Amino acid sequence: MPDKQAAPNGSPSGSITDVPGIRVGQAQRRTGGWLSGVSVVLPPPGTVGSVDVRGGGPGTHETDALDPTTMVPTVDAVALTGGSAYGLAAAGGVQRWCEENGRGFAVPGGVVPIVPAAAIFDLGRGGDFSARPTADMGYEAALDAAGSAEGAAVERGNAGAGTGAAIGAGQFKGGLGSASVRLSGDNAHIVVGALAVVNAAGVPWTPGAPAAMPGEGLNTTLAVVATNAVLTVAEAKRTATAAHAGMARALNPVHTLADGDTIFTLATCADELVPHPVVPVASLIELQSAAAEAVRLAILDGVAAAQAVETPSGILPVFPSAGAQGPI
C-alpha cells in the first residue's frame, strides 16, 4: 500500500515537488479588481503526459494532443489558470518561455512547445470581470517555476490559479493545494505527487453530509499528478483516470455538468517500477491508487490553506472545517 508519511518539504502531506525534477511556478493578482492567477507545472525534458477530463463544462487547451494515439508523447509544461476560457491565453506565455529555452517538439526551423492547459471560472470575483490572466502572466509563472530550486515548497491557498477559487458553488473560498505519496516495499523509490486547484461546485465530503446546494458560481477542480516512474502515454492516461477517484473521495458533488474537472498526469520516467513477483501489474495498480490518494490529499490541502477574501464582489469566507486564517 502507498506510504502516506510526511515528505521532506515540511508539509504534513508533502508536495508535487517531492517528485524529482518537478517545479511549480505561480503568478497572481489580488487588488485593483483582480482575484485570479496562473500556476505552471514545469517537468524535466522528455516527460510523458496524458489527461482525463470528467467535468461537463471544461475549459481546456491541447488536451487532444495527450491522447495515447497521437504523435507527440511528451509534455513541456502544464498551465492551470483562472479566467475561464479567456484565461487559456496564459498557455501562450508558457509556450513563449519554453520556445525561448529550446523546449518543445522539434520541427524544421525551431520547436513547438506542448503546453496543455485548463481553466477555472473565477471571472468577476475581484470586482472586474475583465481582470483575467494573460499570456504575460503565464510567462511570469513559467519564469517563476524555472527559477525555483528543485524540491522547493509550493505556495498554497490563495496562490496561482487558486487565487480566485471558490467552493460550494461560490459560497466559500477554495484554493490551491498539494500533496505526495511514496510507494512501499521494492517501489519505495517511486513518488506520486499532486497539485490541485479547488474551485468546485461541491464541498469536502463527509459521511452522511448532503451535497452543496446549487449556487451562482461556475466551477471546476483541476489537478496535475506527477511521478518519477516510467510510464507509457497509455499508462499515464489510465493513471489520470484512476486519480479521479481521489477527487470523488474529497468532494461532493463532483464531475457535474457545471464542473470542468480535469486531471493531467506527468511521468518523468526517471525510475522503473519493480514488477510484483506474482502479479506484475500490481505495481502499476499501486501507483494509480497512490495517484488517487495524492489528489484527495491535495484537494483537502487546498481547502484548508484557503484564506477568506473580501472584494467589491463580496466576501468569500473559509469553509467551516478548513481552519484557515481571516480575511486578507
Identify which of 196, 201, 188, 295 has the alpha carbon closest to the alpha carbon of residue 241: 295
Burial of 281-294, coded b for 16+ CB within 10 Å and e otherwise, reads eebbebbbbbbbbb
The per-residue pLDDT for 213 is 61
Q: Specify the CATH number for 16-315; select among 3.30.310.10, 1.20.210.10, 3.60.70.12, 3.10.20.30.
A: 3.60.70.12
| Cα three-residue angle 241-263-321, rounded to 5 degrees | 105
Report pLDDT for 327. 41
Q: How many CA atoms lie within 13 A of 168 on its CB side?
A: 15
Scanning the structure block, which residue is given the C-alpha cell 496562490? 159
Q: Are strands 48-53 and 110-112 parallel, antiparallel or unpaired?
A: unpaired
Handedness of CA 29, 257, 156, 79 (dihedral sign): negative
* pLDDT at res. 118: 98
Residue 221 CA to residue 206 CA, distance in Å, equals 18
pLDDT digits (tens, 9 = 90+) for 258-306: 889 999 999 999 999 999 989 989 999 999 999 999 999 999 999 999 9
Per-residue confidence (pLDDT) for residue 328, from 0 to 100: 38
| Residue that has been written with the C-alpha cell 525551431 in this structure | 110
- Those residues of the chain that have pLDDT short of 50 are 1, 3-11, 322-328
Q: What is the pLDDT of residue 126?
A: 96
What pLDDT, on a 0 to 100 scale, did the predictor assign at position 215? 58
pLDDT digits (tens, 9 = 90+) for 205-249: 887 766 676 555 568 999 999 999 999 999 999 999 999 999 999
